[in-house]
Amino acid sequence: MMRRIFFTIAILLFSWNVFSQGIQFEIGSWKEVLQKAKQENKLIFVDLYTTWCGPCKKMAAETFPQQAVGDYFNKNFVNYKIDAEKGEGPELAGKYEVSAYPTLVFVNAAGELVYKFMGVRTADKLIAEGEKAVRLYALAPSIAAMEKEYEQGKRGKVFLGEYYALLKESGAGGGIVLNEYLKCLSDEELLLEENVSNIGNISIFDPVLFDRLVKGIKKVEGENKKLGNRLNTSVMKSLSACFATCVKEKDEKALEGILGVKAGLGNLENGMSAMMGGGKSYLPAEQLRLDFYSNNRLDDKFKTLMSEYMIAQQQENSIDSLRKTEEITNRHFEMLIDSAKMKNDSAAIVSIRKTMGMASLFGGVKYKLLSSFVISATRHYWKITDQQNVGEKKKCIAWVNYAYQLDRTPATAWGCADLLEEIGEKQGAKKLLNDVLEVIKNNSLSDADPKDIQSVTERVEKM
């Protein structure tokens, strides 16, 4: 009996220790939490959750109890969690404009919002969010003081540089301050190491500034190719951010300016660069225009350009030409693999398959991105067009099938089948799914995931 008692006590102590390792949340009213934060001179970390929110439960069960999280949050914050639908929860959710769960907020002792984010975070990422909140809180007085001077008209080069550096450190971004600072610099200063990096952070399109940057790129390309490439990359990155801003602000003039800069740089189009962080500036100009029109509901412009764009794409990227290229490539690798098999060289076979995979990846990016765009754009076109018009329906069906032919993979076939069923072409969707299964079956070099194949097969059987 005594041994059982000691065992029970040990289990309870162990459970308490595990629990105490994580974040320790305050129990009490919001007023009491604010008072404690004021007394301890700390920020408040608030977990706004709901009982029905799965991700909220995941954070509570997997992230909050971890020792590293507890060590950091218990030291730096007064921690509080509250059901956003009960008690004081709805009032706090309204005050901090919570629209999804979980939403995690950091506020000061006066209840003023310092920083917030939504969604699940792992332990390391949650700590990183906490560090960002602490940094923002520490910088807030300095930023407020410089903001006041800026509003009063202070615009010296040194001041703007210091103000932008502070905004950058806080994570707030430079906005118009960065543009004004860069415009104060001489052509030589623009090409300094720190400013080439800063150029990539521009998010507001300024035609005068970008004109200088394009001229700068052309000037240094012949003298210092490495610097020219870095400057080019920074400008393209900034154009992607400017594009997002012009879409948000419905600024069609800025859109055309951005496309003009792209053209001035050689109208760079690089699918791999777009996928690897360069952003939308590396996509074709017509795609950016269509993206802008769709986001801002310029329906007539979208429909006219989409029809013209698809005619041009089907001519420039014909399926017959694509199939011939695939056939030549596959035949080449099949010959190499057959040769390696005859020599019983398993290492060579592995190497050839890796090379084939890389060739497929780099060679197929263009068509995969084009396929994805056509599916998305066709879906939007179908939503805004006259769905009772037979000609419009046939047009959309043809575009979906073209998108599939560009990238005959299970994932693309699935997306195309979804859209065909939405249009009302269930038999067309089934035919397309059967086709992708046949393509995989007849391609000895296919690297399709067996799980994807099984999913498509099961979907066909249920149709």
Q: Could you give the residue numbers annotated as active site?
A: 53, 56
Buried b (16+ CB within 10 A) or exposed e, 234-243: bbbbbbbbbb
| Residues 6 or more apart whose Cβ sits within 8 Å of residue 200 | 233, 234, 235, 237, 238
Alpha-carbon gap, residue 304 to 313, rounded angstroms: 15
Alpha-carbon gap, residue 202 to 242, rounded angstroms: 7
- Give strand pairing partners of 103: 48, 118
- Other Cβ atoms closer than 10 A to 135: 14
Number of alpha carbons in the 13 Å side-chain half-sphere of residue 195: 18
Alpha-carbon gap, residue 433 to 416, rounded angstroms: 9
* C-alpha distances in Å from residue 232, one per residue of 191, 272, 300, 370: 11, 16, 34, 24
Describe the strand order of the beta sheet including 77-83 as a list of residue ranges: 77-83, 43-49, 103-107, 113-118
Buried b (16+ CB within 10 A) or exposed e, 30-55: beebbebbeeeebbbbbbbbbeebee
- Other Cβ atoms closer than 10 A to 417: 25
Alpha-carbon gap, residue 156 to 363, rounded angstroms: 50
Helix ranges, 2-122 (H): 2-21, 30-40, 54-58, 67-76, 89-95
Answer yes or no: are the C-beta atoms of 164 and 181 closer than 8 Å: yes
